Amino acid sequence: MPPRSSWKGFLKLSLVSVPVKAYSASSTSGEIRLNQLHKDTMQRIRYQKVVNGSSEPVPSDDIVSGYEYAKGQYVVIDPQELDKLRTESDRSITIDGFVAEDTIDPIYLSGKSYYLVPDGPVGQKPYLLMQRVLEEQKLVGIAKVVLSGREQLVMLRPIGPLLCFEVLNQESKIKSVDSFRDEVESLDLSEQELELTRTLVDATKLEEFDYSVYEDDYVTKLSELIRLKVEGQEIVQIQDVAAPQVLNFMEALKQSVAELRDGAKPASKSAAAKAGSKAASGKMAASARSKRAPASKSGSTKKAKKAAPRKKKSG
């Protein structure tokens, strides 16, 4: 069964309207959610909607939405009144124009991405034309769309054979760089320091970026923790790698460059990080097992010694 679309409407450019539907590009599968429990009874904690001064739950039919325009004074806003604010354009992704793909600074990306696909046969040709031209000219579209009752600014771009749009943060929501400028001191940088830093950066450039190497280590460790707890094993704190020693900056640069010149590869480091995550889970399991099985270990040692053959005396 195909996933349910998050939004349906039209992609509009001037007089051209393309029927489209949007699907969230991210997934919550694999996430681990912990529940709040009462520690004595292990019953789930429930939250109920109550009025101040009362413990009686309020039925959903008795709950309305309102805005506090003065202390303790509210104006009620009905859903029907909100519907009157919506127009036909609320069901459209209206493109204002196009810019070069590197125009939008990544800091404006909100992290919400949607795949956009044609909705029916009539939208196939104009959709493909739009995708092809944006890809050829390395352009992105700046558009507006209403999502979850709010008008959002989005960036429309090609991704593989599809179009997608990224929700952008409004400029007023992004803190100015100038707010933090004083945190960075103005220092003189020597040519030797710059050259060593360039060498270090060049040596750690990745030939290609493999996203699959970077896993959520916390989820992996939490999954292992849950498994061990279900099995009734005692959990032992894993000793993390010691904090790095703070060296003189130039000395640290020189050591880093020397290590890389000795054969360390950035890609292998990524693979090692992935293996390290699995090793950490293994350590947790091993620690838990070692806490409950010291006797069997000594027993097996004695048995092995007993089974060892005796050496024959020569002569």
Given a contact cutoff of 8 angstroms between Cβ atoms, the answer to whether 125 and 20 are in contact is no
Extended strands (E) in the chain = 7-13, 16-24, 65-70, 73-77, 92-100, 109-118, 139-147, 150-159, 162-168
Which residue is listed with tokens 């940088």?
189
Please return the burial class of 141, using the count of CB atoms within 10 Å of its CB with bins 0-12, 13-18 and 19+: buried
Per-residue pLDDT of the chain (315 residues; tens, 9 = 90+): 567 888 999 999 999 999 999 999 987 777 788 888 888 898 998 888 999 888 889 998 999 999 999 998 999 998 888 777 776 667 899 999 999 999 999 999 999 999 999 999 999 999 999 999 999 999 999 999 988 878 899 999 999 999 999 999 999 999 999 999 999 999 999 999 999 999 989 988 888 888 888 777 777 788 888 888 888 877 666 666 565 665 677 787 788 878 877 765 554 445 545 555 555 555 555 555 555 544 444 444 344 344 444 444 444
What CA–CA distance (Å, rounded) separates 270 from 276? Answer: 10
What CA–CA distance (Å, rounded) separates 56 from 148? Answer: 31
What CA–CA distance (Å, rounded) separates 134 from 128? Answer: 10
What CA–CA distance (Å, rounded) separates 174 from 105? Answer: 11
295 alpha-carbon distance from chain centroid: 44
Please tell me the pTM assigned to this model. 0.65
170 alpha-carbon distance from chain centroid: 21
Strands 109-118, 162-168: parallel, antiparallel or unpaired by DSSP? antiparallel
Domains of the chain by start residue, with CATH: 7-25+85-170 (2.40.290.10), 191-293 (no CATH)
Given a contact cutoff of 8 angstroms between Cβ atoms, the answer to whether 18 and 95 are in contact is no
